[in-house]
Amino acid sequence: MELNQLTIHELQEKLKNGETSAVKVAESVFNRINAVEERVHSYIRLMKEEAMSAAEQSDKDLQSGKAGPLSGIPVALKDIVCTKGITTTCGSHILHNFIPPYDATVVEKLASAGAVFVGKANMDEFAMGSSTETSYFGPTRNPWDLTRIPGGSSGGSAAAVAADECIASIGSDTGGSIRQPAALCGVVGLKPTYGRVSRFGLIAFASSLDQIGPFTKDVEDCAIMMNVLAGYDPLESTSVKAEVPDYRQYVGRDVQGWKIGIPKEYFIEGIDPEVSAAVKDAIAVIEKNGGQCVDISLPHTEYCLAVYYIIAPAEASSNLARYDGVKYGLRTSEARDLLEMYKKTRREGFGAEVKRRIVIGTYALSSGYYDAYYKKASQVRALIKHDFEEAFKKCDIILTPTTPTPAFKIGEKTDNPLQMYLSDIFTISTNLAGIPGMSVPCGFTAAGLPIGMQFLAGHFEEGKLIQIASVYEKNAQIEKRRPRL
């Protein structure tokens, strides 16, 4: 096995006992990038120079005993988290030249844990999309089938992990943008509880839904990443001062007697039969290992998509108002007056999907429509949250498919936004309720495409997700495959 194919915990071991060096690990990752990046296009920008010097520093730290938990571990960052001095585009033309003078809190945390940043990963423009096709910088391809999408919006982060172009990565999830690409790329992806990981420096899409989380090759790595990422941040008002456990301690703990809620609303017609079968097999594995399935209901599920597509665009329409050509980013080359500058800058700077959502959101907040749309959606959101509160009285964990289908073809849904939106149908409710959710690989289709299933838990119960995911991972004995690139 090549170094770039290993997990964080495997590399930690090798780095600790001197079997390899951070520089060698970084080189191995960049060699892989050289070999496959042209086809996969996981990255908007590579940070080789910075990475190599960070790797050298990691080696010094490892030698002097000052190593952090991620010393020498190559990590990719979704291009939505601000990196001081390094262009951060959010996948958009309007920010193609934006260089933040600050680091996102997660970037600071990862850096001080010793992580080596490989580059800025591709994404749907402003995280609006489920396929990474709306990126101004061109789509990312699914490493398992280059004619297919990797999912989105964090498609670059998922593909980079799946293609071994990094060891772990950071994504953000507003309605499934970590879990859906994790499922479609066959990696582990966790969306933490809202308020668990700092949003400071995360370019906002929908502030009440956005949350940063990790992509990893296995569950234990997810726990290692969460140990670094989680925690209160005084720079964010919605950050929560809840105790952060050592997530690694949950890895391998049994789930004897746990009640596994199976929501009937998530096992509906229209789900791809192979996905359905894989999830059913997974349920059997969990039952065999001590879990007891209980039927539960999340009665407001049918409204999730509608509620999401009012609240998220409404917040986005306001969050994206700052991209006006005045202060940074793109400014149209010629305009006769202020209004023309605004219009041309935003017309040239935003892609079609972003514009669509700005229009929807602006409409939903307009005087005369606010009550019927935004206000009503907020009320239904409270009911959706309540559904989960009730459900978690009956079970410890909820299990669902992550996506209704495996990865679809590039271009297949770009002309049909509603079809595209449906690929997040199982992940959106989590963000509306603010609870954590995790996608774990649970097999492959006959055509060799990865399938993912999703675990959901109550607020701040990421530990439970890691616990059950690790039990499943250990006992499912899913064939270890790597994409043929």
Partner 1 sequence: MEFETIIGLEVHAQLLTDTKIFCNCSTKFGGSPNSHTCPLCLGMPGVLPVLNKKVVEYAMKMSLATNSNINKSCSFARKNYFYPDLPKGYQISQYAYPLSEHGYILLDVEGEQKKIGITRIHMEEDAGKLVHDEHNPSSYVDLNRAGVPLIEIVSEPDMRSPAEAADYLKRLHEILVYLEICDGNMEEGSFRCDANVSIRPLGQKEFGTRTELKNMNSFRNVQRALEYEVKRQQYLVENGGTVVQETRLWDDAQGVTNSMRSKEEAHDYRYFPDPDLVPVIVDDAWIEKIRKELPELPLARRQRFVSDYQIPAYDASVLTADKALADYFEEVVKLCSKPKAASNWVMGDVLRFLNEEKRDIRNCPITAQALAEMISLIEDGTISGKMAKDIIDEMYKTGKSPRVIIAEKGMVQITDESALAKTIQTIMDANPNQLKDYRSGKEKLFGFFVGQVMKATQGKANPQKVNELLKKMLVG
Contacting partner 1 (CB under 8 A), which of 31, 34, 112, 338?
338
Residue 200 as a binder of partner 1 (CB under 8 A): the answer is: yes
Long-range contacts of 480-483 (CB under 8 A, 24+ apart): 481/186, 481/444, 481/448, 482/5, 482/164, 483/143, 483/144, 483/162, 483/163, 483/186
Rounded to whole angstroms, the Cα distance separating 286 from 373 reads 41
* Interacting residues with partner 1 between 302 and 331 (CB under 8 A): 314-315, 317-318, 320-324, 326-328
Residue 217 CB, nearest approach to partner 1 (Å): 28
**Max Cα-Cα span within the chain:** 70
* Nearest to partner 1 of 85, 234 (CB atom): 234
Q: How many CB atoms lie within 10 A of CB 377?
A: 20
Q: Known catalytic residue: 280?
A: no
Residue 301 CB, nearest approach to partner 1 (Å): 23
- What is the per-residue burial (b if ≥16 Cβ within 10 Å, else e) of 427-453? bbbbbbbbbbbbbbbbbbbeeebbbbb
Contacting partner 1 (CB under 8 A), which of 208, 276, 297, 414?
208
* Nearest to partner 1 of 87, 289 (CB atom): 87
Which residue in the list 71, 130, 131, 153 is annotated as catalytic? 153
Residue 90 as a binder of partner 1 (CB under 8 A): the answer is: yes
Strand blocks (E) in 402-484: 437-444, 450-456
Nearest CA among 94, 78, 181 for reference residue 129:
181
Residue 215 as a binder of partner 1 (CB under 8 A): the answer is: no
Q: Known catalytic residue: 343?
A: no
* Nearest to partner 1 of 203, 228 (CB atom): 203
Quick one: which segment of 2-10, 60-68, 362-370, 388-396 binds partner 1 (CB under 8 A)? 362-370
Q: Known catalytic residue: 130?
A: no
For 91, residues 6+ apart whose C-beta sits below 8 A from its C-beta are: 44, 79, 80, 122, 123, 124, 125, 126, 127, 134, 135, 136, 137, 153
Can you say whether the dihedral through the CA atoms of 143, 144, 149, 154 is positive or negative?
A: negative
Contacting partner 1 (CB under 8 A), which of 95, 222, 225, 466?
95
Quick one: which segment of 81-89, 134-142, 177-185, 279-287 binds partner 1 (CB under 8 A)? 81-89
Quick one: which segment of 115-123, 127-135, 235-243, 426-434 binds partner 1 (CB under 8 A)? 235-243
Contacting partner 1 (CB under 8 A), which of 5, 20, 87, 207?
207
Joined together, the tokens standing for residue 269 give 């017609």
Residue 166 as a binder of partner 1 (CB under 8 A): the answer is: no
Joined together, the tokens standing for residue 452 give 């993912």
Q: Chain centroid to CA 15: how far? A: 27
Residue 132 CB, nearest approach to partner 1 (Å): 20
* Nearest to partner 1 of 35, 341 (CB atom): 341
DSSP annotation string for 186-254: T-EEEEPPTTTB--TTBPPSSTTT-EEEEEESSHHHHHHHHHHHBS--TT-TT--------GGGGTT--
Residue 235 as a binder of partner 1 (CB under 8 A): the answer is: yes
- What is the per-residue burial (b if ≥16 Cβ within 10 Å, else e) of 461-481? bbbbbbbbbbbbbeebebeee
* Interacting residues with partner 1 between 104 and 123 (CB under 8 A): 104
Which residue in the list 131, 177, 423, 470 is annotated as catalytic? 177
Rounded to whole angstroms, the Cα distance separating 445 from 307 reads 32
Nearest CA among 373, 384, 362 for reference residue 313:
362
Residue 427 CB, nearest approach to partner 1 (Å): 19
Residue 366 CB, nearest approach to partner 1 (Å): 6
Contacting partner 1 (CB under 8 A), which of 121, 170, 203, 228?
203
Joined together, the tokens standing for residue 308 give 């999401």
Residue 99 as a binder of partner 1 (CB under 8 A): the answer is: no
Size of the site for partner 1 (CB under 8 A): 44
What's 396's DSSP letter? S
Do residues 126 and 91 make contact, with C-beta atoms less than 8 angstroms apart? Answer: yes
Rounded to whole angstroms, the Cα distance separating 369 from 45 reads 41
Identity (one letter) of the amino acid at 118?
V
Quick one: which segment of 1-9, 87-95, 267-275, 412-420 binds partner 1 (CB under 8 A)? 87-95
Q: Annotate each residue in 399-438 with x if it binds partner 1 (CB under 8 A) or - if it does not, as one string.
A: ----------------------------------------
For 3, residues 6+ apart whose C-beta sits below 8 A from its C-beta are: 11, 14, 20, 24, 25, 28, 29
* Nearest to partner 1 of 123, 285 (CB atom): 123
* Nearest to partner 1 of 267, 328 (CB atom): 328
Which residue in the list 78, 120, 217, 464 is annotated as catalytic? 78
Residues that bind partner 1 (CB under 8 A): 81-82, 88, 90, 95, 98, 100-102, 104, 199-204, 206-208, 234-238, 314-315, 317-318, 320-324, 326-328, 338, 342, 362, 365-367, 370, 374
Which residues are annotated as catalytic? 78, 153, 177
